[in-house]
A and B are shown apart, each in its own frame.
Chain A
Amino acid sequence: MKRLVLVLICAVIVGFSGTPAAAYDYKVDDPYVATIVGTPEVLEWDKLPKKVDYELLGLKVFPDRPMPDVFWYQREFLYTLSYQKQAAPLIFVIAGTGSSFYASSMVFLQKAFWGAGFHVICLSSPTHMNFITTASATSVPGNIAEDSQDLYRVMTKAWEQVKDRIKVSEFYLTGYSLGASQAAFVSKLDEEKRVFNFKKVCMVNPSVSLYTSAKILDDMLLEIDPNLTPEIFDRWFDARLARFGEIYRMMKEPQLDHDFLYNAYRTLYKKGQTPSRENLAGMIGTVFRLASSNMIFTADVMANYGLIVPKNRVLESADSLTDYFKVTNRVSFLDYFNEFLYPYSRSRNPGLTKEALIEGTSLRSIEPYLRNSPKIVLMTNEDDLILTPADLSFLKDVFGARAKIYPRGGHLGNLTFRDNIGYMINFFQN
């Protein structure tokens, strides 16, 4: 009670300056910097176990599905299990766009939840190559309702695979970014199917509308240059990579992915160099483009759709894909939506309008469910880059007291900050 009074007084003193959460120690106030650089080490969750015991498990979701030669290495759907010896709740964690359970955010959550005494199953995003090729019914991701059915299928099969070995008291669900939006749909699906009967669901930095968030991220590339051409982009990207040179030596396993590119900036930032807004936005856009390129090409081959690879062309395991890479890099997520996902969905559901599909991939389509489900909580940031002001108002309105909205952090920048992960663990434990 005293604290409440104090908070109220503070709120009055701070007045209308717009920063009511005075005691929030995550200080990175530029959402672009936060998104890329994340949380300073000293402020990270200090109860994180150094190592985590986990098993890499595989599922044949569609045993009869032929795999194109060019994806010969995708044999089964992979996921990880970390378990406790005693009975405990099992948390399913869904990764963000294009990410697998190997992504640093996933490994972080795996460690944090496992260290806090939960069983943890980490699932790659339905937009990740391994998911598209082995576990997606259509192999054309982006329609959240369908993707969530795919998720529910792999969760059910994964549970069947491990249930004899672990003692589960109840089931929880979480996900971040697109994975958070999917978690909401999965939770709704579970109300009908009742395999898990989820007791608690935590959505972390969800997108409200996939279409809107994707457009925001697509447009980040234009901050490099409003008239971006491949030549300008290549020049810009080469210049960035050249600056990362010194970082290669420090990193054991450099890869051109989200973790590496963000880590490179993190290292530069630690040395006191603050990259310009264009470069930060450009890098966020690049990372998103790489992830969506992987998704689009994989979906195109799997569905034999003919967007980038000629329809009916059989690609073999040693065929060069470099030219397709160059084309795919020019295709934005919205291009994919308009030229592939929408016509493809319409061919299966005649009469489907684009507006209906856009609406269907938005949390607004399940608003009544979200509004009336006390078991679902939300954690996000005032300055999350993938939300419009309208999106943020929607979330505040729908979740009310179940929304934990931090003043800073950008998109997932404060995920590993001790308050944030502490909030999640506390929610699941109590």
Chain B
Amino acid sequence: MKRALCLMLLTVLIFLAGCGTAPVRKEPEIPAQRPVSEYVNPDVTYAIDVFDPWEPMNRRIYNFNAIFDNVIFLPVVSAYEFVLPTFVQKGITNFFNNLTEVTNLTNSLLQFKFVKAVHTFGRICINTTVGIGGLIDVATLNDGITREDEDFGQTLGFYGLGPGPYLVLPILGPSNVRDTTGLVGDSVVYSMMIGQLIGHLGLDDTQEDVLNYSLTAVYAIDKRSNEPFRYFKTGSPFEYDLIRKLFLIKRQFQIDN
């Protein structure tokens, strides 16, 4: 609940940030030499086009994410990378990879991808035991069983659900309505599992909350640390468009496989 409130607050902030002072137009506009009206046919779908009815909001969130990344997220990630030795970071990455494996399993099963399900189940068993609670990815290292990425967004796509409108999520970045739904679904499964695990530790409610939030925070930092994407690194004024298109293609490919 608190998290939802934070999210709402954040969204409001973004809108406020977007509604700065209106630009003062000093001189009248002169039509471009190569005007959009002449070159772009509104009835044609171009390769770069993606269904994006909430584009103004999405672009604002995209910009917000870039600022958040530079001001808060990346500095925290840098500190994390500076403080922890590489092998500890690797261990943490493996640990969370193992925890989130549960959604790979559920979604492989939901799509009747039994080979992937067996691989994933094997990975969980090996890495949780021999890999000391998931800290070492023994399954990949020793047995060559690599991770199978399946999420609920892909499952929905597998059953024929289209991507729906493009959506840029605060902090998390590019998504669409289908994949955001998927994300919520996976989060529920993941939270239930974490709740069960933490429940066995015999902590009181406050301690459980603290542990839960800490896990989420470290998970977020670990994930950002492993993600090389940097905002506005493409050097293209059309970065938003390019990323939007690429995200759609990438997701479609993941669904098809």
Contact = CB atoms under 8 A, between A and B. Distances in A.
A and B associate: yes
A430 interface: no
B59 A231 contact: no
A260 B62 CA distance: 22
Interface residues of B, number: 51
A65 interface: no
Nearest to B256: A245
A100 B235 contact: yes
A320 B59 contact: yes
A54 B241 CA distance: 30
A346 interface: no
Interface stretch (B29-37, B96-104, B178-186, B210-218): B29-37
A300 to B, nearest CB: 8
A-B pairs, 9 with minimum CB distance? A234-B47, A245-B253, A314-B23, A311-B30, A318-B59, A327-B39, A323-B36, A312-B27, A253-B228
A325 interface: yes
Contacts of B36: 323-324, 326-327
Interface string A232-248: 01100110010001101
B2 interface: no
A339 B66 contact: no
Interface-central residue, A73, A98, A311, A326, by most chain B CB under 10 Å? A326
A234 B46 contact: yes
B18 A317 contact: yes
Contact of A290 (B35, B66, B236): B236
Given A245-B249, A255-B246, A318-B18, A73 B231 contact: yes
A110 interface: no
B49 interface: yes
A264 B249 CA distance: 14
Given A102-B233, A129-B236, 10 more contacts: A69-B23, A129-B235, A234-B46, A237-B47, A252-B228, A257-B235, A294-B236, A325-B48, A327-B36, A327-B40
Interface of B: 18, 23, 25-36, 39-40, 44, 46-49, 55-56, 59-60, 63, 66, 227-229, 231-238, 240-243, 245-246, 249-250, 252-254, 256-257
A40 B242 CA distance: 29
A1 B26 CA distance: 74
Contacts of A301: 237
Interface stretch (A146-154, A302-310, A388-396): A302-310
Interface in A266-322: 290, 293-294, 297-298, 301, 306-314, 316-322
Contact of B46 (A294, A298, A311, A326): A326
Contact of B32 (A102, A310, A321): A310
Interface of A: 69-74, 98-100, 102, 124, 128-130, 230-231, 233-234, 237-238, 241, 245-246, 248-249, 252-257, 290, 293-294, 297-298, 301, 306-314, 316-327, 330-331, 339
Contact of B237 (A249, A294, A318, A339): A294
A124 B236 CA distance: 13
Nearest to B247: A254
A109 to B, nearest CB: 18
24 contacts: A98-B235, A102-B233, A230-B44, A238-B47, A245-B249, A245-B256, A246-B253, A249-B253, A252-B228, A253-B229, A254-B246, A254-B250, A255-B242, A255-B243, A310-B30, A316-B23, A318-B56, A320-B55, A321-B238, A321-B240, A324-B238, A326-B36, A327-B40, A330-B34
A231 B44 contact: yes
